[in-house]
Amino acid sequence: METYLQFRALKHQLQAEFEGKWTKTQYHRFSSAGAHDSLQTDIEDGKGESTDQTDTSSPSQQSTEKEFFVVDFQSLEDPLRPRNWSVVKRALYTANVGIIALVVGTAASIDSAVIPNAAAEFGVSEIVEALATGLFLIGFGVGALIAGPLSETVGRNAVYFGSLLIYMLFLVGAATSPTLAGQLVCRFLAGFFGESPLSTVGGSISDMWEPLDRLIAFPIFATLGLMGPLMGPIIGGWIAGTDVISWRWTEWVALIMSGLLLASLVLFQPETYEPILLRWKAHHLRKMTGDHRYVAPSEVDGHTFRKRMATALSRPFAMLIQEPVIMLWTAYLTVIYIMLFGFLDGYSFVFGDTYRLSPGLTGLIFVGMAIGLVLASLSLTPLVLNWAKRDITRMQESIPDQPPRLPSEFFLWYSMIGAPAIPISLFWMGWTAFPSISIWSPILASVLFGYGILSVFVSTYMYLIDSYETFAASALTMITLVRYVASGGMVEASIPMYRNLGVHWALTLLACIGVVFTTVPYLFYAFGPKIRARSKFAKGHDR
């Protein structure tokens, strides 16, 4: 509804322009020889006829004659641009799409709490039933390959509406499947389609906020994104611990949450992708003038969906192999997600077996991590934002004629402050989870773990986005693919790992791995500029 109203509002705005309220509009002309110059169009008497028009060729003829007017924004202050909307509107729209990360993340992990119940009904082992969670995560990873090019072709909202609807249908399939095979297939496909709107949220945030403002917007999104996997076992734990409703209600609860989210997006979320907004503008101009030479930049750039898909499937793998920056950050974030999703099964060993808690109370302890996420966002965001403003002020004073830009390494401050919390929390939890020691000790350790994972997640994304700019989507696609596929495998491996090693040594092993990777942000802070200088994809270099 909001998208339709936005489309209509743009039409009325252009009609007002044609009625003489605005008399000058600047477009760009591409001649048949390929020259590019600006064209001043006078709109008078409501006719909408522009000077230098010689034909009314169709879009198909434009490719042959190569003369058309490329529609752009009126100026940097054009109200059509999402970054010029009011702060209140952008904050509300950001929160609206940010909830996608919470809801889809909850659906990913909610089944983990009812593994024993579902395994008993299907007559299989818990390790086999854990595939319901693992395959959902693997579907997430595979779905990341199409999310970027899809949203850049059809727009953000089309991805939100279409993908969420299909994802919800497969949630219904998982909830009603009478067989294990049917449940697993539906869970995988739900993850595959659920990932597209999840990845698109980052694009929407980028559409609406300037780089400095993202220091506030992105940590909020990251908090919601990481909160989702923690909400799942909290809700699922209470479903698993009651005989009143079936374990299948985990899927129905996820479906209800997703349905409310989809309704909110359809009713209130406007389109934010600028190329799509310019396509709308060009469409209205063609209708009003009868001149088919008005086109949006994305209609003449030659980037078809097939070409975008070919790039999306090949470039991420090439970058992973060729770029040590991406290689190390992918490994680091993958290890953290392995730890996080390993806790979906591991908490039943850490807290259920040790302290004899019910499934509901065991799930409730995930609140500790959630508190850590919020504390990290509230403490690190204002601190790093103040440092950013200070550094920008110094740049403006020292080089007044050059627009200030923070170095990519600045965004590593999040992880340099918070990353040590991860191995510390794992050692702490591993060696205080004894019946003779208060349960509050490992719970407090989980708060510290949540603090650490948010800081590393924010640093990873903001550092790679700033380092690779145009190619950031490919870099983030590979990180998403690897970390979710590995996390899906860890859901399977965590049960035998905790059983065979025991809680104390399993967490000690993860903590030792965490110690090694904690050095990553410090290494890049020291050597990042030199490493990026040899990159074929990082900013400032020839493509």
Number of H helices, E strands in the chain: 21, 4
pLDDT digits (tens, 9 = 90+) for 319-354: 888 888 888 898 999 999 999 988 888 898 999 889
Task: Please write down the long-range contacts of 170-177, taking CB distance under 8 Å and 24 or more positions apart.
Answer: 171/107, 171/251, 171/254, 171/255, 171/258, 172/251, 172/255, 174/132, 174/251, 175/248, 175/251, 175/252, 175/255, 176/248
Q: Each residue of 138-151: b (16+ CB within 10 Å) or e?
A: bbbbbbbbbbbbbb
Six-digit token pair at 490? 């860890």
Average of pLDDT values for 415-432?
95
pLDDT at 384 over 50: yes
pLDDT digits (tens, 9 = 90+) for 269-288: 999 988 899 989 888 888 88
User: Within 13 A of 352's CA, how many CA atoms are on the CB side?
Assistant: 18
pLDDT digits (tens, 9 = 90+) for 98-152: 899 899 999 999 998 899 999 999 999 989 999 999 999 999 889 888 877 778 7
Ramachandran area for residue 152 (φ above 0: left; ψ -120 to 50: alpha; else beta)? alpha
In the prediction, which pLDDT does 58 show? 42
Average of pLDDT values for 150-163?
86
Q: To the nearest whole number, what is the mean pLDDT of the chain?
A: 84
Which residue stretches of 323-439 are H helix? 324-347, 354-355, 359-364, 367-398, 413-418, 421-430
Q: Which position has the higher pLDDT, 42 or 360?
A: 360
Q: Does domain 82-272+306-533 bear CATH number 1.20.1250.20?
A: yes
Six-digit token pair at 535? 């990159």
Residue 503 CA to residue 347 CA, distance in Å, equals 9
Tell me, yes or no, if the pTM score tops 0.75: yes
For the chain, how far is it from start to end, CA to CA, in angstroms?
Answer: 41
pLDDT at 92 over 50: yes
In the prediction, which pLDDT does 153 show? 79
Which of 53-67, 253-267, 304-318 reaches the highest mean pLDDT?
253-267
pLDDT at 27 over 80: no
Parts of the chain belonging to CATH 1.20.1250.20:
82-272+306-533
pLDDT at 537 over 90: no
Ramachandran area for residue 52 (φ above 0: left; ψ -120 to 50: alpha; else beta)? left
In the prediction, which pLDDT does 20 show? 59
Six-digit token pair at 411? 């965004």
Lowest model confidence (mean pLDDT) among 143-157, 450-464, 520-534: 143-157
Q: Are the C-beta atoms of 30 and 67 separated by less than 8 Å?
A: yes
User: Within 13 A of 135's CA, how many CA atoms are on the CB side?
Assistant: 18
pLDDT digits (tens, 9 = 90+) for 260-271: 999 999 999 999
pLDDT at 431 over 90: yes
pLDDT band at 316 (very low <50, low <70, confident <90, very high): confident
Q: Which helix (H) or strand (E) holds 309?
A: helix 305-322
Q: Which position has the higher pLDDT, 14 or 94?
A: 94
